Chain A
Amino acid sequence: QVQLVESGGGVVQPGRSLRLSCAASGFIFSSYGMHWVRQAPGKGLEWVAVIWYDGSNKYYADSVKGRFTISRDNSKNTLYLQMNSLRADDTAVYYCARPSGYNWNEYGGDDAFDIWGQGTMVTVSS
């Protein structure tokens, strides 16, 4: 079945780095753009980044621009999020999400996200 599985979360000190992975299965990964979305404890959802289906374009929320890098390896059906210069306010559950195919945009998918991973927790603390 269609599935996304995140990994790589953990506890990290402020200023350090962490790389998250999202393994995709059950669909043609290389055809879809992909997103990262995060949720701080007890808070709402925050969109983090998007990458085009072929990796040609990447966009970020202002809160992570210059610190986080989204990437993908279509040969491995895997999405990544490299997080540098981590801060306490980056503490959150990080979800990878696949856009639906209801309407196809240039980046590889719709505006809504129909497949989500289970999330991986990142805690930034000294």
Chain B
Amino acid sequence: EIVLTQSPATLSLSPGERATLSCRASQSVSSYLAWYQQKVGQAPRLLIHAASNRATGIPARFSGSGSGTDFTLTISSLEPEDFAVYYCQQRSNWPTWTFGQGTKVEIK
């Protein structure tokens, strides 16, 4: 089973700052990695698919990079609405899927 490890668990930043979130896979997942944002009381929202492709309607300040085992979600300049929990997800272990444990981006 492929395990996804996200770091840090919590990121304390101010609006306007750059956020860098990491997701590491226990073995290669090629580019089969997605990123989601979840706010309290809401369903997750797809941000990035196939490691680096923004989903429809996602602002350009969100970007994804990486392949193999190391992936990064970058928010170039945090907006107030970006403070939330972020999850990575992979499906390389076809046909099952797994999520990372999440990174909380909180206001400093």
Q: Could you list which residues of chain A lie within 8 angstroms of chain B, going by C-beta atoms?
A: 35, 37, 44-47, 50, 57, 59, 61, 95, 100, 102-103, 107, 110-114, 116-119
Leading 7 A-B pairs by shortest Cβ distance: A112-B34, A112-B49, A116-B43, A111-B91, A47-B97, A45-B99, A114-B46
- Identify 18 new A-B residue pairs, CB closer than 8 A, beyond the known A45-B36, A95-B44, A114-B46: A44-B87, A44-B101, A45-B38, A45-B87, A45-B99, A47-B89, A47-B96, A50-B96, A100-B46, A102-B50, A102-B53, A110-B49, A111-B34, A111-B90, A112-B89, A113-B34, A116-B45, A117-B43
Contact A47 B95, beta carbon cutoff 8 Å: no
In the complex, chain A residues whose CB is within 8 Å of the CB of B56: 114
- Interface presence of B100 (CB below 8 A): yes
Residue of B nearest to A95 (CB): B43
Interface of B toward A, CB cutoff 8 Å: 32, 34, 36, 38, 43-46, 49-50, 53, 55-56, 87, 89-91, 95-102
Question: By the criterion CB–CB under 8 Å, are A57 and B95 in contact?
Answer: yes
State whether A112 touches B55 (Cβ < 8 A): yes
Closest to A113 in B: B46
Report which residue of A59, A100, A107, A119 has the largest number of chain B beta carbons within 10 angstroms of its beta carbon: A100
Cα-based distance from A50 to B53 in the complex (angstroms): 23
The answer to whether B101 and A118 touch across the interface, beta carbons within 8 angstroms, is no
A119 partner residues in chain B, CB cutoff 8 A? 43
Give me 25 A-to-B residue pairs in the complex whose CB atoms sit less than 8 angstroms apart, sorted by A's number. Answer: A35-B97, A44-B87, A44-B100, A45-B44, A45-B87, A45-B89, A45-B102, A46-B99, A47-B89, A57-B95, A59-B95, A100-B46, A100-B49, A102-B49, A107-B95, A111-B32, A111-B34, A111-B50, A111-B90, A111-B97, A112-B55, A113-B89, A114-B55, A116-B45, A118-B43
CB contacts (< 8 Å) of A111 on chain B: these are 32, 34, 49-50, 90-91, 97
